[in-house]
Amino acid sequence: MADNKDRFVNQIADINTDYTKWYTDVCLKSELCDYGPVKGTMVFRPYGYAIWELIQAEADKRFKAHGVKNAYFPMLIPQAFLMREAEHVEGFAPEVATVTHVGDTELSEKLVLRPTSETIIGNMYSKWISSYRDLPLKLNQWANVVRWEKTTRPFLRTSEFLWQEGHTAFATAEEAEADAMEMLGVYEEIAKDVLSLPVLTGRKSEKEKFAGAVATFGMEAMMKDGKSLQSGTTHYLGENFAKAFDIKFLDKDGTHKYAYQASWGISTRLIGAIIMAHGDERGLCLPPVVAPVQAVVVPIGAGKNPAVAEKAEAVYSALKNAGVRVELDDRDLSPGFKFNHHELRGVPVRVELGGRDLEAGVVTVCRRDSGEKTAFKIDGCETAIKSLLVEIADNMYKKASEFNASHIVAVKTMDEMEKALDGGNFTDAYWCGDRACEDKIKQAYAATSRVFHADQSHVGEHKCVCCGKKAKHRIYFARAY
């Protein structure tokens, strides 16, 4: 029967022995995505794109609540723009794709595909901003960007990806820096409330900051292999791009000043974070807020019992009317196949309804996060299931938080660091602040500094994990995607 023929859906690699293959298996077999024809590109299939649409909706409303408006800027940027900010071009030039021809005609100026839009937006801001009355200016765009990477992986690193980039301009440095911090807070809230994802947030080292920024603040999520996934960044740009693009305004005091800027972005990488932070040996485990299918109703033995089919339909309708994103799986396949299929796809709640359930007036509800099964009265089950979705989101956050807490190891020496990293942990270390030590740690253990620790209070009492000099910072080092 179809059951056996289709068992392949369950053939994903073992998460404990081959995490890398497990990841790509889950991506492809749950039909989140596929590889594109050009190396390093990917296709967002409907199931994966639907997650992104849900993330977008949740993020967009939060941005708008912060007074941000959406706009759209050209993707093609004059190559010369990139050159204007020295660090910016150095950081991005090697991975920038360049358009030289249209049809058979060579273009008079080379154009690059945006790797990020500080430059072209800076160019427009210089036109739009002339008075303090024009400030603050807070725009965001949802767009595709291109960064040509040598090693690529679906969602994590592809030559083209989807993201949002916020670009803000203010009259004062304080406001711009505050914006970078505030948006970091918004990202943290999205991670928690939308993705059930606990994160570490804080400032990044000079080495790890955005090319062209004064300071970069990052949000790091821990994956189940103990590696970090940078899941969002905000940048305080100071006057760097304002000077490069002549963004000046006449202030209240009658003098001309450069505007201060910030920028911030999250991307389709977040889908990778969801997969790797919540997934398990059975596949995806989607946070209810962004699950394209929040519940699936599976009638059991409906072929022999029309009353089951009928009631399953009624339960499906009740859930749909209650605003739950629900599917009715009445395909002619065995329940076992269906269970595996929906588990692989990470559907948060499975609602089983068989003859015995019907007699008892209940549905059997199975949670994807815990595997727990409970009987719910059919009448009003939609309300109970809506509450359960909230409980599942909370529990997923709690489980991931516990995992994180048990995988952050305080280390005093390089040996301790190595052992902790090899054990699949983040390390909580003291550091002198010198780039040389960061380089050494990267070379020795393939780990990088992630973000400064929230608590910097006793730093002076400690020594650098690497060189032993007096520490200036408490910071997380980890391997990262």
Residue 464 phi/psi, 5-degree rounding, is -65, 130
Q: Are 385 and 319 in contact (CB under 8 A)?
A: yes
Sign of CA dihedral 182, 183, 186, 187: negative
Which of 20, 98, 131, 374 is close enough to bind a copy of itself by CB under 8 A?
Answer: 98
Which positions from 169 through 208 interact with a copy of itself, judged by CB under 8 A?
none
Cβ distance to a copy of itself smaller for residue 99 or 408: 99
Residue with tokens 């409980």: 391
3-class DSSP state for residue 84? Answer: coil
Which stretch in 119-127, 308-316, 438-446, 464-472 sits in contact with a copy of itself by CB under 8 A?
Answer: 119-127
Residue from 14, 34, 281, 379 binding a copy of itself (CB under 8 A):
34
Q: Does residue 430 contact residue 465 with C-beta atoms inside 8 Å?
A: yes
With CA atoms as reference, report the closest residue to 162 among 183, 148, 142, 147.
142
**Please, which residue, 49 or 403, has the CB nearer to a copy of itself?**
49
Considering only the stretches 93-101, 168-176, 402-410, 427-435, report the one whose residues sit in contact with a copy of itself under the rule CB under 8 A. 93-101
Residue 123 in the binding site for a copy of itself (CB under 8 A)? yes
Rg, the chain, Cα only:
25
Determine if 477 is a binding residue for a copy of itself (CB under 8 A): no
Q: Of 74, 73, 72, 76, nearest to 99 (Cα)?
A: 76
Stretch that binds a copy of itself, among 16-24, 122-130, 236-244, 428-436 (CB under 8 A): 122-130
Half-sphere exposure of 286 (CA within 13 A, CB side): 30
Q: Which of helix, strand or coil describes residue 138?
A: strand
Answer yes or no whether residue 323 interacts with a copy of itself by CB under 8 A.
no
Distance separating alpha carbons of residues 44 and 125, to the nearest angstrom: 33
291 binds a copy of itself (CB under 8 A): no
x/- letters, 142..161, toward a copy of itself (CB under 8 A): -xx-x-x----------xx-
Looking at residues 349 to 408 of the shown chain, list those that interact with a copy of itself (rule: CB under 8 A): none
Measured from the CB of residue 41, what is the shortest distance to a copy of itself in angstroms? 4
Please pick, from the candidates 54, 139, 363, 414, the single residue that binds a copy of itself as defined by CB under 8 A. Answer: 139
Is residue 9 a contact residue for a copy of itself (CB under 8 A)? no
* Per-residue binding letters, 326-345, with a copy of itself (x by CB under 8 A): --------------------
Please report whether residue 87 would count as binding a copy of itself according to CB under 8 A: no
Rounded Cα distance between 366 and 312, Å, is 15
Nearest distance, CB of residue 37 and a copy of itself, angstroms: 5
Helix (H) or strand (E) holding 274: helix 269-278
Is 217 near a copy of itself (CB under 8 A)? no
Q: Are strands 408-410 and 426-431 parallel, antiparallel or unpaired?
A: parallel
Looking at residues 35 to 74 of the shown chain, list those that interact with a copy of itself (rule: CB under 8 A).
Answer: 36-38, 41-46, 49-50, 52-53, 69-74
Closest CA to 76 of 108, 98, 95, 104: 98
Q: Which is nearer to a copy of itself, 142 or 403 (CB)?
A: 142
Our finding on whether 16 is near a copy of itself (CB under 8 A) is: no
The kind and range of the H/E element at 272 are: helix 269-278
292 preceded by cis ω (within 30°)?
A: no
Of 73, 127, 75, 68, the residue nearest 98 (C-alpha): 75
At 105, list the tokens. Answer: 């005609």
Nearer to a copy of itself, 1 or 38 (CB): 38
Least spacing, CB of residue 289 vs a copy of itself, in Å: 18
**Smaller CB distance to a copy of itself: residue 158 or 196?**
158
Helix (H/G/I), strand (E/B), else coil: 194: coil
Q: Between residues 286 and 432, which has the closer beta carbon with respect to a copy of itself? A: 286
CA dist 398 → 16, 43, 277, 464 (Å)? 21, 32, 12, 32
Interacting residue ranges for a copy of itself, rule: CB under 8 A: 34, 36-38, 41-46, 49-50, 52-53, 69-78, 81, 93-104, 109, 111, 113, 120, 123-124, 127-128, 139, 143-144, 146, 148, 159-160, 162
